[in-house]
Amino acid sequence: MDDLKHYQSPLSHRYPSADMSYIFSPHFKFLTWRKLWIALAVGQKKLGLSISERQITSMLDALEKIDLARAEEYEKKFRHDVMAHIHAFGDLCPEARGIIHLGATSCFVTDNTDLIQISEGLRIIRNKIIQVIRQLHPFAQEYASLACLSYTHFQPAQPTTVGKRACLWLQDLLIDLSDVERVLEDIRFLGVKGATGTQASFLALFEGDHSKVKKLEEFVAKEMGFSRPFSVTGQTYSRKQDIRILSALSSFAASVHKFATDLRLLAHLKEIEEPFAEKQVGSSAMPYKRNPMRSERICGLARFLMSLNENSLYTEATQWLERSLDDSANRRLYLPEAFLTADAILNLMCNVTSGIIVHPKVIQKHLYDELPFLATEQILMEAVKRGKDRQAAHERLRIHSFETSHRIKEEGGSNDLLERIVQDPEIGLSKDEVEELIDIKHFIGRAIEQAHEFLNEEVAPVIKKHKEIANFVADIKL
């Protein structure tokens, strides 16, 4: 019950997956610090420093024995988190106390751990984006031929198909996937750079042997899963790298915000809806409500994620020379929250796209309610082909359209535009001729072909490329 008296972030207990939460947990963070210290010591030993096998073994034996309470006591004393954990670790492996963190500065563990967390987090995000793509692909295929009314400015426009519209969502996600993969591939390790990035401390340890300093950095980077470190840094790695990472995440947030907004608009029209559980309550006051709550949550979280990108820009802009500490507290907030938010959004996206509900009869009704107005241009051209005066026919169609619009909007009547047109001798077309002109095939252009071409040529290869990535089933508890 005491937990109820303390603030708990929704990003730590309500929304994200256990996997992403663990990556940004204290346990993962401080375990990684210890792995870095061990990799550093192993590398230094291999390159000739006086470090014994017993010291390495004692560090490995103590690796998992993380006592946060002890570290917090040290931090109260030292006012320095890294020094606190060096002492807490040293207490568990006293033989190695003297060589832990040898030659390093705090950013050796903090920045390199950030990059390890970021890399792990990006892999989860990549895999879940792929899952959303997998789920939208068959949906777009199934409904590639289902004609629907388009909306520009959220006003009725030239028809498209439900599947073609889904391809617009997919195209954005393919761009996001490409961005995430590129960032993941290009992430560079801080490495072992020392207090100002010059590696002076390591050069001193190796008595001026530059090659050993380079070999040490290459060894530690490889041990921690990175192919290359930055060639030059200050005390920290360039925060430009954070901008690229946050930019990819915020761009993804914009895509899913657009998707979820589209779904909310379509739910209002009763054309397409997100899944709705049997016992789900839409409103505490209105029993009939079917609010698109998951889509609304996607939009809310996406808006927050987009806003975090600004922090990375400010952080890079305010780096002073070789470093300033004011980025530390800020990055402790926005880096984990960006990844936890992206993860929470993707859990929702995986859930929603696994069961989108389509109402074809409502879609057809809306389409045919507007189709007579959309068909007036084709009717005008056909009337002229049959010898009618273009200007006179245009005027008659304009009058009929305005009168029909008045009937619908002011009187609540049905759309009788086609009946008016058939009965007008100045237009001169029969009912059968008019019905042929309003056949939907005349209005959707290449929407069906575009959808199938895009799905086969661009989406299917991506799904095939990532076929080894396991399917993810989102467990949305709330």
Q: Which listed residue (6, 153, 231, 430) is catalytic?
A: 153
DSSP string, 436-447: HHT-GGGTSTTH
Instruction: Note if 283 is an active site residue.
Output: yes
**Rounded to an integer, what is the distance from CA 354 to the centroid of its chain?**
17
Angle at 466 between CA 463 and CA 472, to 5 degrees: 85
Instruction: Note if 153 is an active site residue.
Output: yes
Task: Write out the H or E segment, with its range, that includes residue 358.
Answer: strand 357-358
Joined together, the tokens standing for residue 393 give 């026919």
Asked whether the beta carbons of 264 and 291 are under 8 A apart, the reply is: no
Closest of 303, 311, 315, 314 to residue 341, by C-alpha: 303
Q: Count the Cβ atoms, other than its own, within 10 Å of residue 417.
A: 23
Using CA atoms of 325, 330, 336, 337 in order, give the dihedral in degrees to the nearest 10.
Answer: 180
Please give the Cα distance from 19 to 472 (Å, whole number).
12
DSSP string, 65-126: ---HHHHHHHHHHHS-HHHHHHHHHHHH-GGGGGGTTTT--HHHHHHHHHHHHHHHHHHHHH
Please give the Cα distance from 96 to 55 (Å, whole number).
5
Q: Count the Cβ atoms, other than its own, within 10 Å of residue 155.
A: 8
Q: Which listed residue (283, 307, 405, 414) is catalytic?
A: 283
Please give the Cα distance from 347 to 15 (Å, whole number).
8
Instruction: For helices 81-92 and 53-62, give the axis angle rounded to 10 degrees.
Output: 110
Q: What is the DSSP letter of 189?
A: B
**Side-chain half-sphere CA neighbours of 246 within 13 A:** 25
Please give the Cα distance from 326 to 266 (Å, whole number).
45
State the chain's maximal CA–CA distance in angstroms.
104
Q: What is the DSSP letter of 457?
A: I
Residues designated as active site = 153, 283
